[in-house]
């Protein structure tokens, strides 16, 4: 079982344009898609599509459009009633795959609602293989919300606590990194902000610099860093080594949710007992498959092709891992 928490979920609307976006002009869409969204929700949707047991936890009333959509898609979920409507996000995709997003802030959560959400997560995380803390925090929630959950989880379950993955940004991601999670999944922009290593564009174009940046997090106690670099691939860094995964060139249909799908691919591979290299390979395959689909559609495992992913070791492992020949 993989449990995800999305404290700021959304109803994601994606609008497809036939021409490049022009500010200040009237343009007609050629397509539109609506999906329940938020990082943890997307991850659970991808896991469910691949027949991996999961549970998405989120705030929201049972009649909210986000929870209604989750029920219609038969995605296992548990909502904490808050008496407020969840937010809506809009993504505009252009023919070359460029995506522009406008995200609402979401409803504020009271201290009582925050405490109830944490208790719900701790209760349902018992016996899980992973707990994924994902997405932005809604108004009223302190930046150490995720780090507090990690501490409470380990205090309650000790060595039996599930592994924790964090996919967020800004101050919440920085605070969570200090709690030494088992996995951080930043993109280039988030990694640049978190570590101060160059800017996002430089990191995307220089995987070895990305490795240096990620190593500072591993040195600080994070077990593994999965850094997604858009069309440049993804990098995995652990104490044992660092690897770069790359997929064949493609024109993206929509990049919405591609990073979430990459994390889902990594997690389902760890659940299957795959090596770090093969987990990275599947993450890259999942991310590429998501980018080839419209809107925030997530791929099933059967829609991915890890065989086309090239994985390269960026340094020699510090601990012998017996990698495959093409991973040397």
The dihedral built from the CA positions of residue 116, 47, 96 and 30, taken in this order, carries a sign that is negative
Can you give the pLDDT at residue 255?
73
CATH of the domain at 140: 3.40.1190.20
Q: What is the Cα–Cα distance from 174 to 193, expressed in whole angstroms?
A: 9
Distance of CA 30 to the CA centre of its chain: 28
Ramachandran assignment for 12, one of left (phi > 0), alpha (psi -120 to 50 degrees), beta (any other): beta
Tell me the β-bridge partners of 246: 310
Angle between helices 170-178 and 145-157 (to 10 degrees): 30
Q: How confident is the model at residue 295, as a pLDDT?
A: 67
**How far is it, in rounded angstroms, from Cα 223 to Cα 217?**
8
The domain in which residue 242 lies consists of 2-327
Residue 183 CB burial class (10 angstroms; 0-12, 13-18, ≥19): buried
Answering whether pTM is above 0.85, one says yes
pLDDT (tens place) for every residue of the chain, 328 residues total: 999 999 999 999 989 999 999 999 999 999 888 889 999 999 999 999 999 999 999 999 999 999 999 999 999 999 999 999 999 999 898 988 788 989 999 999 999 999 999 999 999 999 999 999 999 999 989 999 999 999 999 999 999 999 999 999 999 999 999 999 999 999 999 999 999 988 899 998 899 999 999 999 999 999 999 999 988 899 999 999 999 999 998 877 777 778 999 999 999 999 999 999 999 999 999 999 998 887 678 898 999 999 999 999 997 544 333 344 444 3
CA gap 3, 114 in Å, rounded: 17
Q: What is the four-CA torsion angle of 263, 265, 268, 273, rounded to 10 degrees?
A: -100
Sequence-distant (6+) residues with CB within 8 A of 86 are 9, 10, 11, 59, 60, 64, 65, 66, 106, 107
pLDDT at 252: 77
| Residue 194, phi-psi category: left (phi > 0), alpha (psi -120 to 50), beta (remainder) | alpha
pLDDT value, residue 84? 96
What is the total residue count of the chain? 328
Total domains present in the chain: 1
């Amino acid at each position: 079982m993989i449990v995800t928490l999305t404290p700021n979920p959304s109803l994601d609307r994606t609008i497809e344009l036939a021409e490049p976006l022009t500010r200040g002009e009237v343009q007609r869409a050629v397509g539109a898609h609506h999906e329940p969204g938020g990082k943890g929700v997307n991850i659970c949707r991808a896991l469910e599509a691949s027949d991996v047991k999961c549970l998405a936890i989120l705030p929201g009333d049972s009649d909210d459009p986000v929870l209604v959509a989750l029920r219609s898609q038969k995605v296992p979920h548990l909502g904490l009633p808050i008496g407020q409507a969840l937010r809506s996000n809009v993504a505009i995709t252009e023919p070359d795959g460029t995506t522009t997003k406008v995200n609402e802030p979401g409803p504020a959560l009271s201290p009582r609602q925050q405490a109830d959400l944490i208790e719900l997560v701790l209760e349902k995380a018992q016996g899980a293989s992973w707990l994924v803390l994902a997405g932005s925090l809604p108004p009223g929630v302190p930046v150490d919300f995720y780090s507090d959950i990690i501490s409470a989880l380990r205090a309650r379950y000790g060595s039996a606590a599930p592994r924790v993955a964090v996919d967020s940004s800004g101050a919440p991601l920085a605070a969570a990194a200090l709690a030494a999670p088992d996995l951080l999944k930043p993109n280039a922009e988030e990694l640049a902000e978190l570590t101060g290593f160059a800017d996002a564009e430089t990191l995307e174009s220089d995987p070895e610099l990305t490795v240096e940046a990620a190593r500072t997090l591993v040195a600080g106690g994070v077990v593994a860093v999965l850094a997604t670099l858009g069309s440049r691939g993804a990098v995995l860094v652990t104490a044992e080594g660092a690897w770069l995964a790359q997929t064949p060139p493609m024109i993206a249909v929509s990049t919405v949710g591609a990073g979430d799908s990459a994390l889902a691919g990594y997690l389902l591979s760890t659940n299957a007992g795959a090596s770090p290299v093969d987990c990275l390979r599947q993450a890259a395959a999942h991310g590429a498959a998501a980018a080839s689909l419209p809107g925030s559609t997530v791929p099933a495992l059967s829609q991915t092709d890890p065989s086309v992913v090239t994985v390269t070791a960026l340094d020699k492992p510090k601990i012998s891992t017996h990698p495959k020949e093409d991973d040397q």
